């Protein structure tokens, strides 16, 4: 994957767009750290690409929630404890 700095993107946008069309994917960096990913697209596959990106973000969110629950030991809750939590949440509404 090609890396391009924010500075290069700002000062040489034409070159960056050309490289993106050649590479299909680029990472934009700021102070040497990745801050964005650019993907080339076209009108025919734009919606499909956007849908895939949204799914990946959703999967990452679910994985993060699962990791947090394991870290907190919530994955060891019994069915009864889970039901009690649900009941308490419903009653507090």
How far apart CA 21 and CA 87 sit, in angstroms, is 54
Domains and CATH numbers, the chain: 1-40 (3.40.1620.10), 42-92 (no CATH)
pLDDT digits (tens, 9 = 90+) for 11-58: 999 999 999 989 999 999 999 999 999 999 999 999 999 999 999 999
Residue 38 β-bridge partners: 26
- 4, 19 in Cβ contact below 8 A? yes
Q: Which two tokens stand for residue 20?
A: 């993106």
Query: Is the model's pLDDT at 1 over the cut of 90?
Result: no
pTM of the model: 0.65
């Amino acid at each position: 994957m090609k890396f391009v700095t924010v500075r290069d993107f700002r000062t040489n946008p034409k070159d960056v767009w050309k490289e993106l069309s050649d590479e299909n994917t680029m990472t934009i960096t700021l102070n040497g750290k990745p801050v964005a990913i650019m993907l080339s697209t076209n009108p025919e596959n734009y919606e499909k690409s956007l849908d895939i990106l949204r799914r990946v973000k959703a999967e990452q969110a679910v994985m993060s929630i699962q990791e947090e629950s394991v870290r907190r030991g919530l994955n060891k809750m019994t069915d009864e404890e889970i039901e009690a939590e649900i009941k308490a949440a419903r009653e507090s509404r």
